């Protein structure tokens, strides 16, 4: 496990030796020797990890290795921090640079020589105590990993892998779809031990077509061990999908839980609702929630999942408690072979016998079976016996435990993948993790390395896909064949936290667990109303990441003072949901002290009131991601022109937004048409995700007319959203119609809001070769009676959504020819367009949704 950290530090040393060679001239040889010794130790660590049981001497030795790896990182980062600070000095302060540089150079020479002596001492200890024997790393080589990842099958819908729950689904569907005997809500409790599939069963019921049609509204929330009632209530309100984003912002400002209860009660009153409350650990959680759910509707239902039988049977009201059983051997084998054998052309009797022996020892626990099958699906047939032998040596109570299979899977991972899995421990229990954000964080941490063939973000996504493939992470939401969000089972999350603590990898601050002086990362879940954390003045100078994850805790919680931000080595700062205080008032401007964090790669200020950035932001030349999602619009000029490392800019920048050369930029969501017109589009060669938004209150001089030609230079563009009234998709330009497939070879998703469409618009759009998702919202169809999609049009399109809220600008008829859209699985017509006549093939009628 320590090899994950040493591998990371080795790559960091290598990066400094390549990119900062001039600054290291005096210590280059010493640093090379240090790297060589650490490389050898890295190899021994792999041998130590391969053992079934690590002896006490080996444990102490690996702790010494961990300490020195972290100290090497500290010495190098601190040295380059000082160099960067001196380079930014102006005026008389520059006169002190020469003396300061000499002192810094002398100090780093001494520091690295001290580190060399320590690492040589660690090597002698290894030889003295006979720890390990050096072997070449056992992991797959990088090239083979990349090829295997690129050829892997697309993410699988986890509901398709549900086995052994067919009878449970039938029984519970009858309960869900029938009227209650009494005029009050009916509660279904699903209980059983962790890993049996309670959530999978509840999700299967929740997503049933019959259930969707039966209830006026549905909502899903989770509770977990560490819960806050307000968070549960807010999640239910959001999940209902009937409250606007603006209204949600107002709701978050409610000070008391009772206000949220009354609001939710009002939303549900008189409706036939279904609410799923997942992972309830104590009765108080339900007691605090039930007041917000109207009880007197004959058809309303609540589903509760819990491990505790007493909770399942003890909730007040009309209850049906359903105990989830273990799988039979036949069901276990069916679940196992679906994944374990998928890459094996011929399964002989010996392989089946070995597999059945292992499955038998899993005792019918689905989670253990899927993790085992995920491990074996990546093995050659001649390696199955090795896995089996390893499991047999680790049997507990004559059965295979989840922790045992996980350890085998974890030990064989590349160090990059280990770090990716450990990083999941920063997220709260049952948290839906957005993959885009997770990848941005991993890149900023330095856990994803450059690849000659792929962007770091693509490598990061492949790592997430591999964790899904190993069944260590569940794909929660899949769009266009990509995992958009994921979730980790709480049992596997517990294992990730355990390993992360052993490595001093992350400290999760709670009212019981306070700040750490040695951990590299600190995370706070659920912003606390009493501000205990934010008043904590202890500062860990070694901290590399500082994250807040959770809902904003109303107007009385989540205040932060600038004194908490003076952590010079920070690479990641996520202040989601915080409010900044300046001179006793809430400030909409980010504090100037941000400009001192010159190592910063990730700055997250989403869900805050910040809509103005200080001039000092220009100091952050290494910044890769600026995330201001959900904030008020940035109406003033935002100058990001000096931030040449920017890869992702997310926020509503309705005022002028200045971008530098933009060669590294991949995400730009969203800027105005005026700002877009000022950019040098030829330099945006890596831009993949673009959103342009014109605020309706801006005068016409700030809106620039655009057409598809405005984006013709963006050959790598995958996602495009245009929300602007003066964008026209017309046939006046031959380029628009005839060359749309040439100009947009990579476009996968297109959203047009308020766009003027003509009859020739569809012939242009349907030629896009890779388009899978098309959303047309509030578009202007004036003068258009019929919109046609011809045969072979939209060859890859899976989702077409058309909606209209305005009374005018409607469409009379949508005509789709027989062979058009062969891949379509969802056609949605909403709002005023529900009156539109649909002339479509019979094969598509099953996919139509009018709502």
Q: What DSSP assignment string belongs to 584-612?
A: TEEESB--GGGGG-TT--EEE-TTSS--B
User: Pick from 275, 308, 323: which residue ends a domain?
Assistant: 323
Residue pointed to by tokens 């367009």:
833
Residues 293 and 374 in one domain: no
193 vs 580: which has the higher pLDDT: 193
Judged on CB neighbours under 10 Å (0-12, 13-18, 19+), 433 is: buried
**Residue 105 DSSP symbol:** H
Distance in angstroms between the alpha carbons of the first and the last residue of the chain: 51
Arithmetic mean of pLDDT, 601-618: 92
Arithmetic mean of pLDDT, 393-402: 84
The kind and range of the H/E element at 752 are: strand 749-753
Give domain status of residue 543, yes or no.
Answer: no
Q: Is 30 helix (H, G, I), strand (E, B) or coil?
A: helix
Residues 305 and 187 in one domain: yes
Q: How far, CA to CA in Å, does 563 sit from each of 526, 544, 740? A: 21, 17, 53
Residues counted in the chain = 851
Helices (H) and strands (E) in the chain, counts: 27, 33
709 vs 69: which has the higher pLDDT: 69
Q: Where are the alpha helices (DSSP H) in 530-680?
A: 673-678
Residues 356 and 319 in one domain: no
526 vs 439: which has the higher pLDDT: 439
Sign of CA dihedral 734, 738, 740, 742: negative
Tokens read off for 11: 């790559």
Residue pointed to by tokens 């839906």:
432
* The pLDDT value given to residue 138: 43
Give domain status of residue 117, yes or no.
Answer: yes
* The pLDDT value given to residue 146: 40
**Residue 317 DSSP symbol:** S
Q: Is the Cβ–Cβ distance between 545 and 560 less than 8 Å?
A: no
Judged on CB neighbours under 10 Å (0-12, 13-18, 19+), 605 is: buried
482-487/433-434 β-pairing = antiparallel
pLDDT class of 102 with cuts at 50, 70, 90: low
Tokens read off for 254: 């409610």
pLDDT class of 225 with cuts at 50, 70, 90: confident
50-59, 446-455, 536-545 — which one is most confidently predicted on average? Answer: 446-455
Residues 365 and 413 in one domain: yes
Give domain status of residue 811, yes or no.
Answer: yes
If DSSP states are collapsed to H, E and C, what string results for 342-357? CCCCCCCHHHHHHHHH
Closest CA to 704 of 678, 669, 730, 743: 678
Arithmetic mean of pLDDT, 585-595: 85
CATH at 489 = 1.10.10.10
* The pLDDT value given to residue 92: 52
Q: Is the Cβ–Cβ distance between 318 and 298 less than 8 Å?
A: no
CA dist., res. 556 & res. 419, Å (int): 36
User: Pick from 323, 358, 375: which residue ends a domain?
Assistant: 323
* The pLDDT value given to residue 512: 63
Tokens read off for 607: 């869900």
Arithmetic mean of pLDDT, 425-446: 93
Give domain status of residue 596, yes or no.
Answer: no
14-23, 149-158, 212-221, 574-583 — which one is most confidently predicted on average? Answer: 212-221
pLDDT class of 732 with cuts at 50, 70, 90: low
Tokens read off for 536: 């904590």
Q: Is the Cβ–Cβ distance between 641 and 675 less than 8 Å?
A: no
- Identify the bridge partners of residue 475 per DSSP, sorted by sequence position: 486
**Residue 426 DSSP symbol:** G
* The pLDDT value given to residue 150: 39
Closest CA to 769 of 808, 740, 729: 740
Q: Is the Cβ–Cβ distance between 360 and 372 less than 8 Å?
A: no
Tokens read off for 364: 């019918």
Residue pointed to by tokens 């046939």:
731
- Residue 82 pLDDT more than 90? no
Closest CA to 575 of 549, 598, 536: 549
User: Pick from 466, 494, 522: which residue ends a domain?
Assistant: 494
Give domain status of residue 245, yes or no.
Answer: yes
Closest CA to 831 of 730, 753, 718, 726: 753
Residues 316 and 421 in one domain: no
Q: Is 348 helix (H, G, I), strand (E, B) or coil?
A: coil
Residues 2 and 42 in one domain: yes
CA dist., res. 594 & res. 600, Å (int): 9
Give domain status of residue 303, yes or no.
Answer: yes
Q: Which domain holds residue 211?
A: 165-323
CA dist., res. 567 & res. 78, Å (int): 12
- Residue 173 pLDDT more than 90? yes
Sign of CA dihedral 805, 810, 813, 814: negative
Residues 176 and 285 in one domain: yes
CATH at 239 = 3.40.50.300
104 vs 827: which has the higher pLDDT: 827
- Residue 473 pLDDT more than 80? yes
Give domain status of residue 636, yes or no.
Answer: no
Tokens read off for 569: 């080595």
Residues 793 and 735 in one domain: yes
33-37: long-range contacts (C-beta < 8 A, 24 or more apart)?
Answer: 33/116, 34/72, 34/112, 34/115, 34/116, 34/119, 35/10, 37/116, 37/119, 37/120, 37/123
| pLDDT tens for each residue of 107-154 | 788 888 899 889 889 888 888 877 765 444 444 444 344 434 434 445
CA dist., res. 654 & res. 670, Å (int): 8
- Residue 99 pLDDT more than 70? no
Give domain status of residue 215, yes or no.
Answer: yes
- Residue 749 pLDDT more than 90? yes
Residue pointed to by tokens 């597999």:
355
Residue pointed to by tokens 């809500």:
185
Q: How far, CA to CA in Å, does 754 sit from each of 22, 673, 777, 806? A: 54, 14, 6, 10
Residues 317 and 345 in one domain: no
464 vs 699: which has the higher pLDDT: 464
* The pLDDT value given to residue 83: 76
Q: Is 519 helix (H, G, I), strand (E, B) or coil?
A: coil
Q: Is the Cβ–Cβ distance between 630 and 238 less than 8 Å?
A: no
pLDDT class of 716 with cuts at 50, 70, 90: very high
* The pLDDT value given to residue 88: 66
209 vs 738: which has the higher pLDDT: 209
CA dist., res. 13 & res. 4, Å (int): 15
Give this prediction's pTM. Answer: 0.87
Helix axes 329-340, 349-361, angle to 10 degrees: 120
Q: Is the Cβ–Cβ distance between 788 and 766 less than 8 Å?
A: no
Arithmetic mean of pLDDT, 16-22: 72
Cα dihedral 248, 249, 254, 255, rounded to 10, equals 140
Arithmetic mean of pLDDT, 329-350: 89
- Residue 581 pLDDT more than 90? no
* The pLDDT value given to residue 30: 81
131-140, 290-299, 415-424 — which one is most confidently predicted on average? Answer: 415-424
Residues 318 and 334 in one domain: no
Distance of CA 503 to the CA centre of its chain: 23
pLDDT class of 556 with cuts at 50, 70, 90: very low
* The pLDDT value given to residue 137: 40
- Residue 159 pLDDT more than 70? no
* The pLDDT value given to residue 209: 87
* The pLDDT value given to residue 475: 92
Query: CA 356, 364, 50 angle in degrees (round to 5)?
Result: 65
* The pLDDT value given to residue 297: 67
- Residue 42 pLDDT more than 70? yes
CA dist., res. 752 & res. 725, Å (int): 10
Closest CA to 776 of 756, 751, 799, 757: 751
* The pLDDT value given to residue 534: 53
How many structural domains compose the chain? 4
Q: Is 524 helix (H, G, I), strand (E, B) or coil?
A: strand
Residues 390 and 421 in one domain: yes
Phi, psi of 63 (to 5 degrees): -65, -40
Q: Is 773 helix (H, G, I), strand (E, B) or coil?
A: strand
The region of weakest confidence among 71-80, 300-309, 636-645 is 71-80
Residues 381 and 263 in one domain: no
Q: Is the Cβ–Cβ distance between 4 and 419 less than 8 Å?
A: yes
- Residue 817 pLDDT more than 60? yes
């Amino acid at each position: 496990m320590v090899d994950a950290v040493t591998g990371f530090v080795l790559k960091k040393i290598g990066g400094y030796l390549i990119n900062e060679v001039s600054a290291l001239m005096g210590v280059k040889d010493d640093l090379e020797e240090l790297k060589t010794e650490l490389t050898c130790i890295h190899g021994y660590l792999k041998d130590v990890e391969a053992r079934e049981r690590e002896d006490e001497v080996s444990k102490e030795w690996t702790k010494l290795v961990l300490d020195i790896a972290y100290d090497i990182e500290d010495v190098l980062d601190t040295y380059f921090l000082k160099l960067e600070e001196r380079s930014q000095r102006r005026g008389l302060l520059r006169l002190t640079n020469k003396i300061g540089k000499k002192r810094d150079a002398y100090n780093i020479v001494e520091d690295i020589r001290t580190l060399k002596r320590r690492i040589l001492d660690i090597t002698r200890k290894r030889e003295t105590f006979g720890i390990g024997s050096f072997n070449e790393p056992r992991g797959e080589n990088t090239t083979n990993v990349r090829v295997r990842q690129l050829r892997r099958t697309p993410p699988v819908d986890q509901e398709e892998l549900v086995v052994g729950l067919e009878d449970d689904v039938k029984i519970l569907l009858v309960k869900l779809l029938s009227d209650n005997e009494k005029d009050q809500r009916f509660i279904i409790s699903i209980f059983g031990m962790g890993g049996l599939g309670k959530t999978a069963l509840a999700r299967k019921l929740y997503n049933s077509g019959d259930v969707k049609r039966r209830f006026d509204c549905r909502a899903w929330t989770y509770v977990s061990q560490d819960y806050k009632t307000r968070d549960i209530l807010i999640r239910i309100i959001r999940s209902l999908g009937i409250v606007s984003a603006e209204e949600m912002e107002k709701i978050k400002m409610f000070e008391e839980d009772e206000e949220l209860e009354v609001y939710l009660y009002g939303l549900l009153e008189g409706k036939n609702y279904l609410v799923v409350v997942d992972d309830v650990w104590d009765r108080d959680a339900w007691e605090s929630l039930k007041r917000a759910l109207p009880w007197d509707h004959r058809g309303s239902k609540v589903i509760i999942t819990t491990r505790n039988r007493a909770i399942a049977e003890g909730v007040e009201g009309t209850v049906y408690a359903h105990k989830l059983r273990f799988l039979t051997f036949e069901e276990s084998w069916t679940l196992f072979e679906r994944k374990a054998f998928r890459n094996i052309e011929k399964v002989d009797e010996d392989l089946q016998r070995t597999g059945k022996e292992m499955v038998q020892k899993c005792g019918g626990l689905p989670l253990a079976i899927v993790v085992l099958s995920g491990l074996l699906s990546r093995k050659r047939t001649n390696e199955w016996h090795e896995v089996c032998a390893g499991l047999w040596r680790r049997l507990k109570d004559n059965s295979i435990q989840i922790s045992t299979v996980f350890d085998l899977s974890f030990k064989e991972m590349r160090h990059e993948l280990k770090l990716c899995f450990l990083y999941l421990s920063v997220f709260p229990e049952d948290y839906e993790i957005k993959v885009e954000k997770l990848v941005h964080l991993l890149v900023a941490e330095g856990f994803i390395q450059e690849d000659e063939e792929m962007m770091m973000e693509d490598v990061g996504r492949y790592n997430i896909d591999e964790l899904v493939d190993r069944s260590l992470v569940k794909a929660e939401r899949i769009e266009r064949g990509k995992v958009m969000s994921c979730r980790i089972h709480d049992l596997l999350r517990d294992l990730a936290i355990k390993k992360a603590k052993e490595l001093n990898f992350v400290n999760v601050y709670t009212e019981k667990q306070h700040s750490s002086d040695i951990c590299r990362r600190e995370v706070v879940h659920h912003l606390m109303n009493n501000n205990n954390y934010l008043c904590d003045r202890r500062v860990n100078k070694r901290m590399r990441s500082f994250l807040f994850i959770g809902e904003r805790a109303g107007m009385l919680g989540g205040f932060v003072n600038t004194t908490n931000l003076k952590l010079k080595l920070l690479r990641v700062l996520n202040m989601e949901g915080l409010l900044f205080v300046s001179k006793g008032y809430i400030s909409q401007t980010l504090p100037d002290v941000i400009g001192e964090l010159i190592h910063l790669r990730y700055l997250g200020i989403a869900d805050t009131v910040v809509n103005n950035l200080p001039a000092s932001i220009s100091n952050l030349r290494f910044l890769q991601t600026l995330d201001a999602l959900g904030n008020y619009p940035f109406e003033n000029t935002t100058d990001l022109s000096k931030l040449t490392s920017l890869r992702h800019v997310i926020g509503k920048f309705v005022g002028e937004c200045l971008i530098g050369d933009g060669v590294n930029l991949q995400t730009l969501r969203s800027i105005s048409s005026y700002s877009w017109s000022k950019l040098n589009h030829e330099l945006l060669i890596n831009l993949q995700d673009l959103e342009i938004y014109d605020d309706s209150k801006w005068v016409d001089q700030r809106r620039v007319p655009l057409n598809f030609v405005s984006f013709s230079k963006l050959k790598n563009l995958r996602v495009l959203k245009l929300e602007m009234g003066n964008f026209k998709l017309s046939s006046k330009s031959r380029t628009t119609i005839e060359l749309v497939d040439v100009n947009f070879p990579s476009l996968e998703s297109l959203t047009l809001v308020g766009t003027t469409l003509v009859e020739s618009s569809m012939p242009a759009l349907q030629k896009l070769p890779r388009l899978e998702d098309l959303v047309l919202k509030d578009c202007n169809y004036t003068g258009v009676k019929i919109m046609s999609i011809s045969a072979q049009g939209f060859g890859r399109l899976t989702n077409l959504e058309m909606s209209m809220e305005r009374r005018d600008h409607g469409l009379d008829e949508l005509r789709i020819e027989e062979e058009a859209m062969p891949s379509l699985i969802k056609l949605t017509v909403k709002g005023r367009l529900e009156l539109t006549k649909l002339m479509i093939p019979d094969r598509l009628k099953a996919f139509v949704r009018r709502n």
